[in-house]
Amino acid sequence: MLLSRAAVERVGLPIKEYFIWNDDAEYTERISRSGFIGGYVPASVVLHKTPTNHFSDIYQDDVKGIWKYRYGIRNELHTYRLRKGKFWGRFLKRVFVIPVRILKRRKDHKWAFVKVNWDAAFSAINFKPTIDKVK
């Protein structure tokens, strides 16, 4: 991602507590909403330095990566809370719909993933990170 200094000065830095998932989406949305124009390059490629390079999937991912969901779900819901008006629908889906899907689709560690999903969803309600400004 390439950013202008003016954009960073206006909107601040990425939310440091997002450190694992959704940081890029929240940050680019914040920059765009503040009036800066962004560009998308469909031919660009992102290579994650992980054993496998795939989309995350709460229904199939290995239990070793479960800790990422605690932060990813929280960050996703917090981003919706910032949008005003979309949080509660997403929250209710996380609390009632996603657990049923986890129980139906996962082959193992079903309750561990349901629990992390619920914990993350409820933690998003009071999650209020600060946005650091450039000094």
Please give the Cα distance from 41 to 36 (Å, whole number).
17
Domain assignment of residue 35, yes or no:
yes
**Overall number of domains in the chain:** 1
Domain assignment of residue 71, yes or no:
yes
Domain assignment of residue 59, yes or no:
yes
The stretch 56-77 carries a mean pLDDT of 96
Number of residues in the chain: 135
pLDDT in tens, 11-42: 999 999 999 899 999 999 999 999 999 888 99
Task: Please check whether residue 23 is in contact with residue 12, taking contact to mean a CB–CB distance below 8 angstroms.
Answer: no
57 confidence band (pLDDT: 50, 70, 90): very high
Domain assignment of residue 14, yes or no:
yes
pLDDT at residue 84 in the model: 81
Domain assignment of residue 132, yes or no:
no
Residue 69 phi/psi, 5-degree rounding, is: -65, -35
Domain assignment of residue 131, yes or no:
no
pLDDT in tens, 81-120: 988 878 999 999 999 999 999 999 999 999 999 999 999 9
More confident residue, 83 or 75: 75
Domain assignment of residue 133, yes or no:
no
**Is pLDDT of 48 > 80?**
no
pLDDT at residue 20 in the model: 87
47 confidence band (pLDDT: 50, 70, 90): confident
Domain assignment of residue 38, yes or no:
yes
With a CB cutoff of 8 Å and minimum separation 6, the contacts of 2 are none
> Range of 53's domain?
5-125
pTM listed for this prediction = 0.90
